[in-house]
Amino acid sequence: MKNIQLTIHFRLLAIFSFVQFLSCGEKQTKQITQKPNIIYIMSDDHTTQGFGVYGSRLASLNPTPNLDKLANEGMIFDNAFVNNAICVPSRAAIITGQRAQTNGVVDLEGAIAPENQFLPKEMSKLGYQTAIVGKWHLHHEPAAFDYYQVLPVQGKYFDPDFRIQGEKPWPENVIKTKGHSSDIITDATLDYLKNKRDPSKPFFLMHHFKAPHDDFEYAPRYENYLVDTFIPEPESLYEIKNHGSEAIRGKNDSLTRIIGSSVSHRNVIRNQAMNIYWNDSTIYKQYRNARDIKSEEYVKWEMDAAEKEYTSKVYQDYLKKYLRCVKGVDDNIKRLLDYLEAEGLLENTIIVYTGDQGFMLGEHDYIDKRWMYDESMRMPFFVRYPEKINAGSRTDAIINNTDFAPTMIELAGGTAPEYMQGKSFKSILETGIEPADWQKATYYRYWMHLAHRHQNPAHFGIRTKEYKLIFYYGKYWVDTDDPNAEWNKKSWGNDFTHHTPPAWEFYDLTKDPKEMNNEYSNPEYKEVIADLKKQLTQMREDLNETDAKYPHIQQVIDEHWND
């Protein structure tokens, strides 16, 4: 009897153990096959110079310890570029995977309707719950997302309001908050992760900081950060050398006082001193009077010793304000990562970090973005996902922001739809190898001619790993010579409604990474430039970026293509 009982006992134990094994194996299989969560983090105007991992002159200040750690745990991209270095067109490219003339967004007035919010729509098809928190700026309701809490347009740095889903129609459901936007946006994201998502489903979350967009209003706790530190200055802040062309400098430098907003007093229409010292009556008077002066009446600009001293003071104030905003972003990244780790979510979450474009931090005496110069055009971009991406990996493969959506869709297990113009670089992330047929160049276009008193002429161009070719056509995208033409003066804020000279710029980036020497007229580069023009023509056709709809621009291109 005892033997029979023992036999039954061991059989039951074996069955129980087998069931446990199956159950355990089922859990392991479930864990292995569960789709990864994806968090896409984007800061506004956070340029590569404002990181440690990109090795700029500011790296020694250690401005981003938490972001650097995140970057070094995944893959860093050294050649990530925006299609147009201005907020709305960049965000439109990211959410649609399309270029400007395809998605219809060429300037800050552009908008993306819910039916064209392709990235969240595609992620939803793959079983993801989708959410966006922070800056949106694409005007229509982000209704393609399952959840949203977004700033109205640009939003405020302090005590920001947010638009949310509710009983009233968009955009009437508003909540008010107290605090600094970087903290509040992170609070909202953590609240979503803790309380508003379905933990049984993977999530796709876009977490968008307002910072460090100008005017760089940082949280009061950072008031003493870098207060006694001398911020390294770019050499080109004081010496322009052979940078630029007649398109941005004018004949005999006649346009230097109005083209390209500056750190120094050089640009009398908009400079950083006006932003920082707006109450200075002398500067304010100079700004107001500048509107009525014709460019040929400006006194030729010279950086004498007194102006250099003044410019250095403005630059130091400018960079400290900027880096204090960056510090707030970096600290809040740690809050988010700490939560993910504590909740066991970190390892199965793909984390992407980028900016919506670059930003000029005094290079060539420029502030703001818009330019095709690398500090403006280049985006920080890195991805962490330990299961598939090797820590400490880095690539110089060229990507642009239309490639982001296709890549995230493929990382989520889907296939990038044909209507997206961007290409997935998933294989580069997972292998570290750039495919032989991967793109060797990227196309850029800035449409908002002389807008917002930053006074950047309209231009387009091509950027490869070795070279950059820019053509300034210097006209509005609508024909202002046509008396029936309409364009948004209120939004663009133009003081000068004239065309600027067309011209070419060419830079050999292997010899001149700071873009100090325009070599367009150098006969040694004749064949290289001819080949770049050929590539540029083909890219414009392939990407639906020609000027067939803008004959007044095409005429300038035709007349000056072979200059």
For the chain, the domains span: 35-219+330-428
236 alpha-carbon distance from chain centroid: 23
Q: Is the peptide bond before 215 cis (omega within 30 degrees of 0)?
A: yes
Cα 83 from Cα 529, distance rounded (Å)? 21
Q: How many residues does the chain have?
A: 563
Give the global pTM. Answer: 0.91
Which of 263-267, 356-360, 509-513, 533-537 has the least mean pLDDT? 263-267
Cα 164 from Cα 560, distance rounded (Å)? 50
- What value does the mean pLDDT take over residues 451-461? 91
Residue with tokens 């005999």, as numbered in its chain:
252
User: Does residue 13 surpass a pLDDT of 90?
Assistant: no
- What value does the mean pLDDT take over residues 401-417? 98
- What value does the mean pLDDT take over residues 326-346? 98
What's the pLDDT band for 12 if we cut at 50, 70, 90? very low
Question: Could you tell me how many helices (H) and strands (E) the chain has, helices first?
Answer: 16, 16
Question: How many Cβ atoms sit within 10 Å of the Cβ of residue 315?
Answer: 22
- What value does the mean pLDDT take over residues 397-415? 98
Structure tokens at 315: 């630059």
Report how far apart the first and last C-alpha atoms of the chain are (Å, whole number): 105
Distances (CA, A) of 64 to 47, 68, 219, 328, 334: 12, 6, 16, 10, 10
pLDDT at site 123: 98
pLDDT at site 494: 58
What's the pLDDT band for 398 if we cut at 50, 70, 90? very high
- What value does the mean pLDDT take over residues 371-384? 98
Which of 279-293, 294-308, 317-331 has the least mean pLDDT? 279-293
User: Does residue 422 surpass a pLDDT of 60?
Assistant: yes
Secondary structure (DSSP) of 385-417: -TTTS-TTEEEEEEEEGGGHHHHHHHHTT----
Cα 481 from Cα 397, distance rounded (Å)? 42
Residue with tokens 């096959």, as numbered in its chain:
33
The DSSP symbol for 59 reads G
Q: What is the CA radius of gyration of the chain?
A: 26
User: Does residue 190 surpass a pLDDT of 90?
Assistant: yes
292 alpha-carbon distance from chain centroid: 35
Give pLDDT tens digits for 125-182. 999 999 999 999 999 999 999 999 999 999 999 999 999 999 999 999 999 999 999 9
pLDDT at site 43: 98
Q: 282 phi and psi, to 5 degrees?
A: -65, -45
- What value does the mean pLDDT take over residues 474-485? 79
pLDDT at site 288: 46
Structure tokens at 332: 């809040």
Question: What percent of the chain is modeled with pLDDT above 70?
Answer: 87
pLDDT at site 497: 55
pLDDT at site 49: 98
Contact 61, 233 (CB under 8 A): no
Give pLDDT tens digits for 209-257. 999 999 899 999 999 999 999 999 999 999 989 999 999 999 999 899 9
C-alpha neighbours within 13 Å on the C-beta side of residue 507 = 23
User: Does residue 330 surpass a pLDDT of 70?
Assistant: yes
5 or 243, greater pLDDT: 243
Q: Kindly give, in sequence order, each residue whose CB lies less than 8 Å from that of residue 21, ignoring residues fewer than 6 positions away.
A: none
Which of 16-30, 215-229, 332-346 has the least mean pLDDT? 16-30
Contact 148, 131 (CB under 8 A): yes
pLDDT at site 34: 85
| Ranges 129-133, 284-288, 310-314, most confident | 129-133
Cα 534 from Cα 16, distance rounded (Å)? 72
b/e per residue, 140-164, with b = 16+ CB within 10 A?
Answer: bbbebbbbbbbbeeebebeebebbe
pLDDT at site 7: 44
CATH number for 35-219+330-428 (one of 1.10.3720.10, 3.40.720.10, 1.20.1250.20, 3.30.70.980): it is 3.40.720.10
pLDDT at site 452: 82
What's the pLDDT band for 207 if we cut at 50, 70, 90? very high
Question: How many Cβ atoms sit within 10 Å of the Cβ of residue 280?
Answer: 13
What's the pLDDT band for 339 if we cut at 50, 70, 90? very high
How much is the mean pLDDT over the chain?
90
- CB-based burial of residue 514 (10 Å sphere; 0-12 exposed, 13-18 middle, 19+ buried)? middle
